[in-house]
Structure formats: C-alpha cells, structure tokens
Amino acid sequence: MLLQHQTWQEIETYLTRSKGIILPIGSTEQHGPNGLIGTDAICAEVIARGVGEAADALVGPTIGVGIAVHHMGFAGSMTVRPSTLIAIMHDYVLSLARHGFRRFFFINGHGGNIATCQAAFAEIYAEFEGAVGLRRDDELRCRLANWWDGKAMSVLSKEVFGDDEGSHATASEVALTQFALPETIKQAQMDPPRAPSGRFHGPADYRRRFPDGRIGSNPSLATPEKGKRFYETSVPELVKSYTSFVGENA
C-alpha cells in the first residue's frame, strides 16, 4: 500500500492496526555505462513496495537524492549535504509521528547514506523524546535496512556474479533495475569487462581512477532474470526484519 494512493480516512484506519511504515531511501548518481542514474532510489522503492505488499504494510514516498558528492564528477549526479538529508528524514518522521506512526523502517539503496541516516535517527530521538521520555508502548523507533544485506543475498551474489559483483555499479543492482524497468535496459561496452577496484579521495579523484564510474564490477552480466532472483531473495528477508521490528517492544 502506497501512502500517496490512500485517503486520510484509510490512513486513520490503518493506524488502528499498525504503527509501522516503510520508507525507501536511495540516491541519484551515476552507475556506470549501463546503470541508471536513479538505480539506488529505484532499487529501494521496488524492494520496499514488495515488502509492503507481502507484509500488508504502508510504504511512504521515496527519498530519492542522498549523499553522493563523490559522484559529482559525472553528469546527472545529484547530492545533498548531510545536514539536508538529516532535516528531510527528521521532518518526514515527525510529520508521520504526529498522526500516530511509531515504527519507521527505512529500506536503503545507497551505502553512502548509512552514516547520515544513523545521525538522523539520533536527531529524531532527541527531538521526540529528549530528556522527558515516553511510555514504553509509545516509543518511536527507526531502523535502517540495506536491501542488499542478509546471508541469503550474500550467497546469491557469490553464486550469480562472484568477483564480478563489485562495489559500485554492481551487477546485482543493475540487474534489479532491469527486472523492475525492462524498458530502460541499456547496452554498453565494458572496457575492461571487470572494472578496477580501489579507493578514492573525492569526485575528481574518483573520475580519474574510475573513468567509466564502475568500481570492481562487471554489470554487463546483469539480466532481468537475474534481477528477479535478487528481488525474490531480498523481499522475504526484509519482510521478516520488518515484521520483527514492528512487533518488538522490549
């Protein structure tokens, strides 16, 4: 269920049975020669919708631009400051908390968001509870879950792509977007087939070291069929995590 597709009366009814909501969060940044700039937001949203459907949970609007300054050497990439993302998350959560939501499950599509999301949670808790505190049954809690994490996902990645998975413009995330949006599939020559790996210092250094945007990956191996396998593995794992999170009160 998408929040944007409900009426306010339907949200009030939902809140009588659940205080939980799923919020996708991603990024808008380059993903190599055949990866969509919106990959991280698309992956988070597609997985979140699947989890919401399976768990009968509400899914809120996607936060589509994240912490991506290191990709700004590539055309089309967008970024926000950490303070901006913290403010956005703070305002999203507290707006919904006013109506009675208390469990906020963020499904993340971008590794660069992780530290800022944890800082945002601290800001939210400080604002909501501060030094006063609340009854245990009224506590607000946030959790971040990366769609690619989990034991089954790690096993699948090694089985399907091995060392060609890489760490940016990964084969699995490109495959997931191909499964979700087959009409957007891009074809491109990868030279070399597997990109080099390594570290970088900022956007200019990133562009020098990894000129086509990939790090350690060969996303030419991606297919919609492989993307479907990642979708069908990630969603059940996250349904378990979400259900446990919403039900906990300890």
Res 128: pLDDT? 85
pTM value?
0.94
Neighbour-count burial of 27, counting CB atoms closer than 10 A to its CB (0-12 exposed, 13-18 middle, 19+ buried) = buried
pLDDT in tens, 28-61: 999 999 999 999 999 999 999 999 999 999 999 9
Q: In which band, very low, low, confident or very high, does the pLDDT at 248 lie, cut at 50, 70 and 90?
A: confident
Section 116-143 average pLDDT? 83
Distances (CA, A) of 147 to 50, 81, 225: 11, 23, 18
Domains of the chain (ranges plus CATH)? Answer: 3-240 (3.40.50.10310)
Res 244: pLDDT? 96
pLDDT in tens, 156-192: 999 999 999 999 999 999 999 999 999 999 999 999 9
CB of 219 closer than 8 Å to CB of 172: no
Section 10-33 average pLDDT? 98
Res 180: pLDDT? 98
* CA-based nearest residue to 109, from 196, 49, 152: 49
Q: In which band, very low, low, confident or very high, does the pLDDT at 250 lie, cut at 50, 70 and 90?
A: low
CB of 122 closer than 8 Å to CB of 206: no
* Mean pLDDT over each residue of the chain, to the nearest integer: 95
Section 217-230 average pLDDT? 98
pLDDT at 228 over 80: yes
Res 28: pLDDT? 98
Res 71: pLDDT? 98
Res 139: pLDDT? 87
pLDDT at 132 over 60: no
Task: Tell me what percent of the residues of the chain surpass a pLDDT of 70.
Answer: 96
pLDDT at 136 over 80: no
CB atoms within 10 A of CB 248: 10
Section 93-114 average pLDDT? 97
Q: Which residues contact 17 (CB under 8 A, 6 or more apart)?
A: none
Q: In which band, very low, low, confident or very high, does the pLDDT at 135 lie, cut at 50, 70 and 90?
A: low
Task: Tell me what percent of the residues of the chain surpass a pLDDT of 90.
Answer: 92
